[in-house]
Amino acid sequence: METVTQTLDRQVVVNLILAALQDVLASMADEVVTPDENTRLIGRSAVLDSMGLVTLIVEVEQRLEADHDLVVVLADDRAMSQTRSPFLSVGTLADYVMQLAAEQG
């Protein structure tokens, strides 16, 4: 039996987050941005406002469950208490998802 981490590699997670981010950005209809792994999600030069970030988090959680049978809660006390926010960029969010997936085995 395959585990989540055997079927889910980091690049798959990055691509999933990028697709979700593109959908969120399209719904905001502001400026055109082509996101990549280094795209900032919070802080200075972030591409999302607070509502956009919440929408992205929900979208990523839903896609992980639908596409990979991975049920995670991304915005919880653990995430908020990290020294380095997992929501800083697409890459840091992907790293956090991979950490949660590894813990589920």
pLDDT in tens, 43-63: 999 999 999 999 999 999 999
pLDDT of 5 strictly over 90 = no
**Residue 28 to residues 12, 66, 68, 83, 103, Cα–Cα distance (Å):** 25, 24, 27, 29, 34
Domain of 100, in residue numbers: 4-104
pLDDT of 36 strictly over 50 = yes
How many CB atoms sit inside 10 A of residue 59's CB?
Answer: 18
- The predicted pLDDT at position 1 comes to 42
Give how many domains the chain has, as a whole number.
1
- What value does the mean pLDDT take over residues 31-52? 91
Q: Kindly report the CA angle at 103 between 94 and 42, in degrees rounded to 5?
A: 30
- The predicted pLDDT at position 6 comes to 56
CATH number assigned to the domain comprising residue 76: 1.10.1200
- What value does the mean pLDDT take over residues 3-26? 88
